[in-house]
Structure 1
């Protein structure tokens, strides 16, 4: 039945059944480490002239090149530059890994349901783009399982 109505989710479940919890754990750790490193970087070559003479400006991840005097944001290439509350991204990824609903993210992190939905699609897309497809599939399936269990309680 799932195969007919939601073929993408069905394929994700099949892919997930062939993975081990160890693979998911390794990818989760690697993804969170990558995100933490990206957010805490203080040295970044210029996106325009590749000069290493850059300085971080502001509380967001913005840099100014001392050579060409242009500003850039390394989050732009991952489409993260327009997402707010970067200090909540890692806890949100943890909630994704637990399969929590958007309502739970709203309650625990104090972000709106629309923000949670936007973050979810963005982080799943980034996981795929960065080569963490096992992790992305795991998050999708886990959330779907949580959603279905939650809905059966109300019936």
Structure 2
């Protein structure tokens, strides 16, 4: 029984969350998520049951305004949730469901976000028990990203993009250099989206916080950044992870 794996003090939150999942799986809506009124009707049953509110005239589904929106089929959510509690790996879950590794991870990310908002005690236990150690593929890609960024930040004499000379010197604390031969300056990340991110001294710490599953508000507080800046940086770094063929880590770090 899955209940036996849950601490006694968390049984109420666990049952409540599974009840919420069941409503989403059955696509059952009790009220409009926008105006909270109960006067609505079904306008479409497939592929996702869609409702129309008589009060605010908006359309919605059972998953609207939740992290599970559009993550169909919804029955995968409970399977992934209970499987992870049983310590079944992402790879085996993906194999059992016949889906990709990334789809499993994306749905668990949605589960974690939902728990964090509505069931904080269950979220704390679930993340500490199941996410304390990165699975091998994430750990390997995390190591790869850290190595690439460290190499960029510690580059001493990159080749000049203007004259191909190696007689270059760093300017300031960014990734900018000046060529001693042609006297032109250049940025070694000018052809990447990293060129849009200032404060390279924070890059490694920012990546660490992403991997530690910190949300935007937490990262903004820790690094003394604006929340909009954190949102922008997260998007850029996830794109860079994909560019460097670390798609699994990018999926892990994305907020859906």
Conservation of the 8 A alpha-carbon contact between 2:105 and 2:252: no
- Between 25-34 and 66-75, report the one with greater CA deviation: 66-75
The aligned counterpart of 2:206 is 92
Q: Taking CA–CA contacts closer than 8 Å with sequence separation of 6 or more, which of the two structures ends up with the larger relative contact order? A: 1
Shift of 1:110: 0.8
Alpha-carbon RMSD across the aligned residues, in angstroms, is 2.5
Q: Distance in 1 between matches of 2:199 and 2:180?
A: 28
Q: Distance in 1 between matches of 2:162 and 2:151?
A: 21
Conservation of the 8 A alpha-carbon contact between 1:16 and 1:134: no
Greater fraction helix:
1
1:114 aligns with 2:228: yes
The aligned counterpart of 2:247 is 133
TM-score (norm 2): 0.49
Task: Give the number of equivalent residue pairs.
Answer: 138
Conservation of the 8 A alpha-carbon contact between 2:177 and 2:185: yes
Question: In the TM superposition, what whole-angstrom CA distance separates every residue of 1:60-115 from its partner, at most 9, and x where no partner exists?
Answer: 22111122221100121222233222111111111111221100101111111011
Secondary structure, in 3 states, of the residue corresponding to 1:81? helix
Query: Max radius of gyration: which structure?
Result: 2
Shift of 1:138: 1.8
The aligned counterpart of 1:63 is 177
Runs (5+) with no aligned partner, structure 2: 1-24, 26-62, 73-98, 108-133
The aligned counterpart of 1:103 is 217
1:13 aligns with 2:119: no
Q: Distance in 2 between matches of 1:82 and 1:4?
A: 31
TM-score (norm 1): 0.77
Secondary structure, in 3 states, of the residue corresponding to 2:196? coil
Partner residue of 2:158 out of 39, 44, 47: 44
Q: Distance in 1 between matches of 2:232 and 2:167?
A: 34
Shift of 1:16: 6.8
